[in-house]
């Protein structure tokens, strides 16, 4: 029997694994273990599915992928024969024909134990029931004189798993997570973790992944709660780190007595940092040498340019102004000022010959028809083609710059301004774009590579937004004012409110119905849009899946009250159920 101990040193590896690069993730784990050993750690802990990357989606179903992860796990297990820190690490685990989201305990040269995730999330961005089998309720793992409870991520979001671990003798809860960022997510995590700690009296180390994976950003921000739910440690957000924590057995149980206490970004600062990290990792992990984007002199492209420079550095960002006859001198001046402030390469490529060539080619079919949106959109499509051609020639990825207000209402051109590989502001409403631009002019996140001070020229923040596709055009010619539009969209998209409920907020019913109609009609465009950073609770894509063919429209009627006498079947499903 292992002799109980009264001191314990745990290293937490808050790192950025690369999806599917199992060799790189193994090397990262080995490096972190060596750091932990140098710090004097007894155990080093990694995040959920670390060896694979998270979320691996249907890649988990490939037997060759499962095999590669298991081989890496066994290789790392062999390393622990050196007497250094034991390892806790996540990977997919095939057993008896089922694949589990597993957490392995590696010590003394072998896989000493393994635990399977019980509560598989299947909502919002998560779809784990599609690829994993649910594990049985776990008991604690005995490791170096300790009984450790190892609930995996979602396992702490309800009481059952943690209650089982407490009742079977766990002394400390170590929780590996792949918890993606969205606005104010930290408060939710604290509340959930504090509830489990309060129910059990057990301290908890909550370790979260950091980094971008497609549309998701993992913010790290790992933390430790003692058994009285007090905060014992807080790690940095949006940054990798390996930190030593020290624990002591006291009369009331184990207590963390030494851990880092960092300040984490919150609110709009966290939103901005998430957009920068998501863009950086998408570019880096896909191997692009840099990015190129159209700099129009408007707020959206200016903010995207600032984010790109903060993510990659000015030398890897190429901005191009693509003017036409409707492009104002003000826009030309603002775009040049933005490029100068960011110290990026800036070129001007007029599009007149491209637009006029397309119009000439189409003239035989368009003869006798009035000019309109079709001709206006040729400008956007010419710009999109030119940017994509530059990308094809030189390898830089096109950053597309449409905001969530535009993506919601279809105020964007397919195969034009929607062209691109990634969009850092896809999940920011227009009013948020303005707020984050003003924020960035007075602050930048830790580790950002861009300059201090004003990077979005002041004039861009105050002038009326316009696509400049015709003389004197303004966005509000086609859309409600953005403060009105965004509040309606938040009601429709984030909150799934009835039209009547949004009208009750003080909005005009006809305007709300118009916005709802535009929202539904633009679904086909959103299906073809570039991926972008998830910032809100409900982004387009993973969180909100609506049919393209859809004739439903909310009539504006209030909530339905079932007619008296018509609900005689209520409870019938339960009453008629057969209990074997």
Residue 299 Cα distances to 169, 431, 438, angstroms: 57, 10, 10
Give the Cα-Cα-Cα angle 309, 221, 541 (nearest 5 degrees): 65
Consult the annotation and say whether 89 binds a ligand: no
Q: Which conformational region is residue 351 in: left (phi greater than 0), alpha (psi within -120 to 50 degrees), or beta?
A: alpha
Consult the annotation and say whether 286 binds a ligand: no
Q: State how far the Cα of 367 lies from the Cα of 395, in Å rounded to an integer.
A: 39
> DSSP character for 236?
P
C-alpha Rg value of the chain to the nearest Å: 27
Both structure tokens of 201: 């009296």
Consult the annotation and say whether 446 binds a ligand: no
Q: State how far the Cα of 579 lies from the Cα of 512, in Å rounded to an integer.
A: 48
Residue 414 Cα distances to 89, 333, 378, 386, 530, angstroms: 43, 27, 11, 14, 11
Consult the annotation and say whether 31 binds a ligand: no
448: Cα within 13 Å, side-chain hemisphere: 24
Which residue among 117, 404, 444, 513 is the active-site one? 117
Which residue among 35, 48, 154, 215 is the active-site one? 48
Q: Is 349 exposed, middle or buried (0-12, 13-18, 19+ CB in 10 A)?
A: middle
Consult the annotation and say whether 488 binds a ligand: no
Q: Kindly write down the DSSP assignment for every residue of 475-533, as one continuous string.
A: GGGTS--HHHHHHHHIIIIIS---HHHHHTTT--HHHHHHHHHHHHHTHHHHHTSPPB-
Told to judge if 48 belongs to the known catalytic residues of this protein, a careful annotator would answer yes
Consult the annotation and say whether 525 binds a ligand: yes
The single residue listed with the structure tokens 């062999």 is 78
Told to judge if 117 belongs to the known catalytic residues of this protein, a careful annotator would answer yes
Consult the annotation and say whether 294 binds a ligand: yes
Q: State how far the Cα of 203 lies from the Cα of 542, in Å rounded to an integer.
A: 33
Consult the annotation and say whether 185 binds a ligand: yes
Consult the annotation and say whether 300 binds a ligand: yes
Consult the annotation and say whether 135 binds a ligand: no
Which residue among 35, 73, 128, 153 is the active-site one? 153
Consult the annotation and say whether 324 binds a ligand: no
415: Cα within 13 Å, side-chain hemisphere: 5
Q: State how far the Cα of 180 lies from the Cα of 162, in Å rounded to an integer.
A: 21
Q: Are 12 and 205 in contact (CB under 8 A)?
A: yes
Q: State how far the Cα of 210 lies from the Cα of 222, in Å rounded to an integer.
A: 9
Consult the annotation and say whether 401 binds a ligand: yes
3-state secondary structure 120-135: CCCCCCCCHHHCCCCC
Consult the annotation and say whether 295 binds a ligand: yes
Consult the annotation and say whether 296 binds a ligand: yes
Consult the annotation and say whether 406 binds a ligand: yes
Binding-site positions for ATP: 294-301, 401
Binding-site positions for L-glutamine: 123, 179, 185
Among all residues, which ones are annotated catalytic? 48, 117, 153
Binding-site positions: 123, 179, 185, 294-301, 377, 401, 406, 525
Binding-site positions for deamido-NAD(+): 377, 406, 525
């Amino acid at each position: 029997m292992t002799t109980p101990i009264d001191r314990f040193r745990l290293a937490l590896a808050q790192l950025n694994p690369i999806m599917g690069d199992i060799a790189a993730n193994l090397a990262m784990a080995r490096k972190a273990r060596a750091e932990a050993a140098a710090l004097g750690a007894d155990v080093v802990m990694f995040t959920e599915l670390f060896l694979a990357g998270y979320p691996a989606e249907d890649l988990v179903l490939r037997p060759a992928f499962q095999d590669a992860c298991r081989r890496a796990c066994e290789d790392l297990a062999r390393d622990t024969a050196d007497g250094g820190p034991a390892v806790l690490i996540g990977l997919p685990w095939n057993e008896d024909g089922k694949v589990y989201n597993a957490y392995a305990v590696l010590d003394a040269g072998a896989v000493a134990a393994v635990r399977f995730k019980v509560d598989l999330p299947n909502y919002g961005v998560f779809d784990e029931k599609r690829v994993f089998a649910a594990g049985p309720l776990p008991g604690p793992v005995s490791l170096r004189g300790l009984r450790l409870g190892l609930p995996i991520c979602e396992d702490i979001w309800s009481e059952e798993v943690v209650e089982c671990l407490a009742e079977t003798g766990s002394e400390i809860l170590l929780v590996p997570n792949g918890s993606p960022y969205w606005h104010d997510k930290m408060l939710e995590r604290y509340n959930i973790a504090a509830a489990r700690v309060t129910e059990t009296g057990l301290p908890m180390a909550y370790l979260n992944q950091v980094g971008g994976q497609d549309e998701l950003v993992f913010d790290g921000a790992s933390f430790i709660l003692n058994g009285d739910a007090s905060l014992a440690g807080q790690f940095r957000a949006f940054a990798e780190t390996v930190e030593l924590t020290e624990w002591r057995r006291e009369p009331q149980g184990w207590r963390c007595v030494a851990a880092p206490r960092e300040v984490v970004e919150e609110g709009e600062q966290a939103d901005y940092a998430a957009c920068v990290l998501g863009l950086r990792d998408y570019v880096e992990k896909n191997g692009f040498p840099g990015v190129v984007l159209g700099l129009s002199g408007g707020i959206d492209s200016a903010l995207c340019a600032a984010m790109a420079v903060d993510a990659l550095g000015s030398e890897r960002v190429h901005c191009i102004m693509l003017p036409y006859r409707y492009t104002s001198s003000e826009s030309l001046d603002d775009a040049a000022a933005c490029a100068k402030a960011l110290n990026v390469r800036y070129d001007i490529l007029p599009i007149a010959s491209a637009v006029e060539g397309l119009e000439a080619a189409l003239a035989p079919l368009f003869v006798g028809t009035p000019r309109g949106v079709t001709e206006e959109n040729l400008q956007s499509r010419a710009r999109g083609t030119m940017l994509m051609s530059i990308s094809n020639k030189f390898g830089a990825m096109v950053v597309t710059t449409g905001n969530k207000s535009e993506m919601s209402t279809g105020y964007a051109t397919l195969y034009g301004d929607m062209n691109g590989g990634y969009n850092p502001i896809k999940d920011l409403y227009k009013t948020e774009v303005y707020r984050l631009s003003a924020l960035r002019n007075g602050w930048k996140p830790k580790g950002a590579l861009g300059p201090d001070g004003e990077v979005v020229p002041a004039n861009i923040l105050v002038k009326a937004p316009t696509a400049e596709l015709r003389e004197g055009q303004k966005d509000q010619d086609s859309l409600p004012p953005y403060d009105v539009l965004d509040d309606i969209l938040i009601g429709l998209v984030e909150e799934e409110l009835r039209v009547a409920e949004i009208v009750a907020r003080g909005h005009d019913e006809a305007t709300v119905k118009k916005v709802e109609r535009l929202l539904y009609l633009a679904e086909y465009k959103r299906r073809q849009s570039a991926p972008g950073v998830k910032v809100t609770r409900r982004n387009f894509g993973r969180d909100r899946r609506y049919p393209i063919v859809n004739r439903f429209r909310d009539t504006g009627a209030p909530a339905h009250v079932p007619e008296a006498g018509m609900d005689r079947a209520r409870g019938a499903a339960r009453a008629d159920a057969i209990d074997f």
